[in-house]
Amino acid sequence: MLVDAARRLACAARASVDAVRDEIVRAARAVAPDIDGVLVYEEDEGALRCVVASGSRFAYFDGTRVALDDPCSLPSRALAAGHRITLADAEATKLHPGDFAAVAIPFAREAGRACVLAVASQRAIETETIDRLVMLADQAAPAYLIALDRELDRRRAEYDGLTGLLTPRALRQRLAVLVDRARLQPAARLALLFVDTDHFKCWNDRYGHAAGDALLREIAHVLRSAAHRADDLVARNGGDEFCVVFTETDKSTAIERADTLRRRIAALDVARLRPADAEGSVQITASIGVAAFAADASTASDLLERADAAMYHTKETGRDGVSYAAPDRSLARLSMCPPVAEMLRPV
């Protein structure tokens, strides 16, 4: 049974962390049929966070945290001890009030990445069963660490290290999926904003790279807050350029939302991001271009190009504004009078 678990864990490590977690739960229940709760905790910013909560009694544990030094926590006690701890071994609080027996087993112990497997039962857990669970945890450790490393590599490839937004490559991959999906749904609405930070080079040259990084993170926060739907995308396109994709949003609404973002960026309290002894000021605004599928483009790359062209039109016509493709395919800069919907109406 444990030999089969080792093989399955190795295969799961090539798939994902979630696959390894699922296999740990399956194997734990196979070697210990009497348990009705399986929990996996990961070390996370000075605490143990529950990342797996299997069993009806333990569903609410998912995402909960316990302090690493909590003397009443069975998982924390096991991690501190460096070996398995049962309810009979220590004066620890039950995982669940209905527990008759429980055991916590540390595994994958590396600095900042330690994990704990905890199981519970409303009946006694035999010593031989606990021994098998310890062997399972030992087998799971290398698979878990490999999967965590691969997950970290994937996140580094998909998310910008400075802002936490999608990378250019990840944006293009996900945008292509959204466009392909929209082709199959005639009523689908999709809009892309290309955002360029005005005067960023001047800011960076005057106040230094640390202040520049702080400014980019601040703008990223503003843009991220505008992504309301699960499929909306926010990405750093490189340097001081960003992209925002609004799903289920028509073009006129996207233009209005772009102008709201423009005003929010212009209103940022950027003075607090400068060095305390800095002299002078640099006004930070944004030039934004908007394009929509399928009104302006039929592919993801065309959509990016049209939004990029609209953004440059904003740059060339005074910055701090929003431009878009007009019905005649020319580029127009937003004026709030007349209303956006009226300006987009074909002549």
Average pLDDT over residues 178-196: 93
Q: What is the DSSP string of 82-136?
A: TS-EETTTS--B-SSTT-SEEEEEEES--TT--EEEEEEESS---HHHHHHHHHH
Beta bridge partners of 241: 196, 238
Average pLDDT over residues 287-304: 95
Q: Are strands 65-67 and 85-86 parallel, antiparallel or unpaired?
A: unpaired
Average pLDDT over residues 119-148: 93
Ordered structural domains, the chain, with CATH: 2-156 (3.30.450.40), 168-343 (3.30.70.270)
- The percentage of the chain sitting over the pLDDT mark of 90, rounded to a whole number, equals 75
What pLDDT is recorded for position 346? 47
pLDDT in tens, 58-115: 999 999 999 999 999 999 999 999 999 999 887 778 999 999 999 999 998 775 679 9
What pLDDT is recorded for position 338? 47
Average pLDDT over residues 268-280: 89
Task: Provide the 3-class DSSP secondary structure of residue 328.
Answer: coil
Q: CA–CA separation, 68 vs 44, rounded Å? A: 9
- Is pTM, for the whole model, over 0.85? no
What pLDDT is recorded for position 5? 81
* Residue 138, token pair as written in the block: 């030992």
Q: CA–CA separation, 166 vs 148, rounded Å? A: 20
- The percentage of the chain sitting over the pLDDT mark of 70, rounded to a whole number, equals 96
What pLDDT is recorded for position 153? 79
Contact in structure between 166 and 174 (CB atoms under 8 Å): yes
Angle subtended at Cα 291 by Cα 288 and Cα 292, rounded to the nearest 5 degrees:
145
